[in-house]
Structure 1
Amino acid sequence: MTTVFIHGFGLLGSSLARALRQGPEPVTIIGSDQDSNQLDYAQAEHLLDRVSAGLKLAAHAEVIILATPVDQIKRTLRELAQLPLQANVIVTDVGSTKQSVVDASRCLEASPAVFVGGHPMAGSHKTGARAGRADLFENAFYFQTPQTEAERAAAVRLKHLLAGTKAKFVQVTPKRHDYLVGQVSHVPHVLAAGLVNESNQALQSDSLGLRVAAGGFKSMTRIAAADPTMWQSILLNNGEIVSEQLTAYMKTLQEIQAAIDQQDGPALFSFFDRAQHSRRQLEQQTDNQGAGFYDLFLDIPDQPGTLAQVTKLVAQANLNLVNLQILEVREDVNGILQLTFSTAADAQQAAKRLSPHYHIVRRD
C-alpha cells in the first residue's frame, strides 16, 4: 500500500486521485487544499482517505504530488524542506512551467526527498474537484524532467504508480519543456485571451456584439475561459520564453498585415497554404514524440439520437474512440462532429463503418 499526499484538490489533483484509484497498486490518498469545499466533495466521492491541515500529514507519505499553481508549488517546496519527510520520498508536481520549479526544488537537496518535475499536458476550462475525471490524462503527454540517476529511477516509479492515467510519459529537460510548452500552450492562451478582450472592446457598442460569434472564434477562444490565477502564475514563471515567442508572432502578424495592405495575393495564399499543410501534419504524427491522434469529421443532422447512433456504430466495430466534439463551424441546422482516434487504422475503420450513414467531410 503506497501512501500518496496530494496538495491541491482542484481539477488536476482530483483527476490524479481518480486515476490512482484505477492504477496498478492500492493507494492511501491524503488530501490537502486551502478550500475546504474541495476536500468535502473529495471525501464524499471517496477520492481521498484522510484530510490534512496544510502539509501536516505530508511526513506520512511515500509520494507527494503538488497540484497547485506554480508560485504556490515553489512556496510549498520550501515548506517541505523544513519537514521530517520519509526516507526516499518522491516529490513531484504538475506545474505548467518546469525550470523555475526545478530551481526551487534545490531546497530539498538536504532532505531525504527526491524531486521529479512533472507536467501532464491536459486540462479544462472548468475548475475544482467536481470537474476532475479519471480519463482526463488519457493519451495526453505527461512530461517528466529528471536530472540525476536517482531522479530517473523515481520517474520510473511515478510512471508505474500513475499508469491509471493512461498518459504518454516523456522525459525532457526543464529548458526544453518550457520552450515547447510556451509555443504550443502558453502563447495560444495569451492569443485567445487577447482576441476575446479585443473583440469585446471593439463590439461593445454593437447590439449584436459577440452574440454572432461562432465557428472559428469560439473554437479558438475556448481556452480563454481558463483560470486567471493559474495563467498569471504560468506567465510570471515562463515570461522570458513566452515574451520571445510573442515577439516572433507579432512579426508574423506584421508581415501578413503588410500583405493585406499591399493586396499581395500570392503572399496571402502562401500564408494560409503553409498553415493548412502544417496543421494537417499535426494529425499524422505516429512516433512517440508526436501527437498520435487521427480525426474524422462527419456532417451530422440536428436530430435526436444522432450522437448515440454514431457512437453505437463505432462501438460495434470495437474501435477506441479517444474524444468527440461538435464543431460550431456554421449557424445552420447541421453540425460537424469531430471523432478522434489513437490509430490511423481505427480512423479508417470508423470511416468505412460510418460512411454509408453519414457524409464524411474530411479525414486528417
Structure 2
Amino acid sequence: MTRNVFVIGLGLIGGSIALSCKKAPHTRVIGYDASEKTRELASTLKIVDDVVEDVIEAAKIADIIIFGTPVNATLDWLDQLKQWPLKENVIVTDTGSTKGLIMAKGAELRECGITFIGGHPMAGSHKSGVMAAKPHLFENAYYMLTPLKGEDEANVTELEQLLKFTLAKIVKVDAQEHDHMTAVVSHFPHIVAASLVHQLDAEQKYYPMTTLLAAGGFRDITRIASSNPLMWKDIVLQNRQELIGQLDSWLEEMNRVKEIILSNEQKSIEDYFAIAKKVRDDLPITTGAFYTTFDLYVDIPDYPGVISQLTGYLADERISITNIRVVEAREDIFGILVISFQSAEDREKAEKCISRRTNFEMYVS
C-alpha cells in the first residue's frame, strides 16, 4: 500500500525533506508551494513525485502532512487545516524553529481530532530556496520532535519511521525546553552578532578604516548577522520571553567581564579566556544544529592565476567548495586565501590535494 506524504512549502527545508521522503519505500511525495515559480522548479527538479495547485484536494489523500513553511505562515495554515476533509489517521507536522505557538495550535487541532506532532530539523545552508534542496541536508543533524503530552506513541513512531530517511538524529523534547535551548545556541547568538555589526557601523563613522580591518575573528563571529532579517524578526517575536531571559543573563555576564577587566588582575583575565577556550574546544564537532562551514586557510603567493590554479586542482578531484575569499587584514587568521567546505571530509581531501600539487602552507580552522 502506498503512503501519501504531502509537503506544503518547497523551499530549502521543505524541498530537502521531500527529497528525503522519496527514498522511503512505497511512498509517494506530493508538493505544494504558494509560489508558482517554485512549483515549476520543484516539478522540473523532481523534488516531489507530483506538484499540485489544489491544497485541499491533496490533503484529502495524505497520510502525513508536513509544513515546510515559516512559523507565522504555518500558524495560518493550521487554522485552515481544521476545516479540511482529512483522513481519520492523518499525522500533521511542521519544521518551524520555535515551538511554543505552534504546539498551542497543535493542541487546538487535537480537540478537532487531528494528530499534530511538532518538528524542527536543525540544519540549514548558506543557500536558500528549492534549488538548494538536497536529500542529505539533515544527515547527522538533530531533528527535534515535540509531541503533545499524552500523544499516542504509535503516531510518533510512524512519523519517525518516515523521517529516518533524512538520516538525521531524531530526538523528542518538550516544546518549552526546545525553545529555551534554541534561544541559547541559535536565536540569542544572532542578536549578539547583529549588535556587534551595529557597533562596527557606529565606529566607522569616526574611524572609516575600521571596516577594512574587520576580517578574521570579526567576520567569523558575525557571519550569522547576514541571515534573512524577516525570518529573524519572526523568530525574535515568537521566542521573545526566552530571549529576554538570555539578554538579562548576557548583561550580567558583561558586567562580570567589566569587573574582571577593571580589577587589572592578570590571572583573572587569563582564566576568563582559558575557561571559555576549554568549553568551546569541548563542544562536539561532528554534529551541529545549524549549517557549519569548514575553512581551509592557504598562504598563496601573489601572481596572476593562482586562485584559478588551486580551484582547478580541486575540480580535477571533484572536491566541492561552498565559498572562497581573499582576506587583507589577517591579524587573527592564518593564510590569505580562505576556502570553505561543507564537511570536514571535503576539507581534508582538499588539504591533501593541494599538498600534493603545491608547497603552499595551509592551516585548518
TM over 0.5: yes
Counterpart of 1:65?
66
Residue 263 (structure 1) shift:
2.6
* Alignment partner, residue 46 of structure 2: 46
Unaligned runs of 5+ in 1: 316-320
Determine if contact 1:127/1:227 at 8 Å carries over to the other structure: no
The question of whether the paired residues in 2 share the 8 Å contact of 1:146 and 1:152 is answered with no
Q: How many residues align?
A: 348
Q: How does 1:154-303 map to 2 (within 5 A)?
A: 154-204=155-205, 206-283=207-284, 300-302=298-300
Identical amino acids, percent of aligned pairs: 31
Say whether 1:330 aligns with 2:333.
Answer: yes
In structure 1, what is the Cα distance between the partners aligned to 2:79 and 2:199?
39
Once the two structures are superposed, residues 19-74 of structure 1 have per-residue CA deviations (whole angstroms, 9 ceiling, x without a partner) of 222x2224333322222222221122121312234555322211111112212222
- Structure 1 residue 300 displacement after superposition: 3.5
Q: Per the alignment, in what secondary structure is the counterpart of residue 134 of structure 1?
A: coil
Distance 1:205 1:54 in 2: 55
- In the TM superposition, residue 190 of structure 1 has moved relative to its aligned partner by 1.2
Which residue in 2 is equivalent to 1:318?
none
Is the CA contact (8 Å cut-off) linking 2:335 and 2:363 kept in structure 1?
no
* Alignment RMSD: 3.6
Q: How many angstroms apart in 2 are the aligned matches of 1:338 and 1:191?
A: 25
CA spacing shift, 1:148–1:37, aligned 2, 3 Å: same
Quickly say closer, same or farther: Cα 1:279–1:93, change in 2 above 3 A.
same
Query: What is the identity, as a one-letter code, of the residue corresponding to 1:236?
Result: L
CA displacement, residues 105-126 of structure 1 (integer Å, 9 cap, x when unaligned):
1121243421111001111343
1:30 touches 1:52 (CA, 8 Å); kept in 2? no
Q: Which residue of 2 aligns with 1:28?
A: 28
Instruction: Tell me if the contact between 2:117 and 2:147 (Cα under 8 Å) persists in the aligned partners.
Output: yes
323-332 or 275-284: bigger deviation: 323-332
Q: 1:279 and 1:326, CA in 2 relative to 1: closer, same or farther beyond 3 A?
A: farther
Q: Distance in 2 between matches of 1:324 and 1:283?
A: 22
Tell me the equivalent position of 1:122.
Answer: 123
Change (3 A) 1:285 1:44: closer
In 1, the alpha carbon distance for the partners of 2:316 and 2:140 equals: 22
Q: Is 1:88–2:111 an aligned residue pair?
A: no
Does the CA contact (< 8 Å) of 2:299 and 2:362 recur in 1? Answer: no
CA distance in 1, matches of 2:28, 2:163: 14
Matched, 1:13 2:14: yes
Classify 1:212/1:362 alpha carbon distance in 2 versus 1 (closer, same or farther; 3 Å): closer
Q: CA deviation at 1:197?
A: 2.5
Describe the SS at the equivalent of 1:145.
strand
Compared with structure 1, are the counterparts of its residues 203 and 27 closer, same or farther at alpha carbon in structure 2 (3 Å cutoff)? farther
Q: Check the 8 A contact 1:70/1:230 in 2, yes or no.
A: no
Aligned partners of 2:3 and 2:27 also within 8 Å: yes
Relative to structure 1, the CA distance from residue 237 to residue 215 in structure 2 (aligned partners, 3 Å threshold; closer, same or farther) is: same
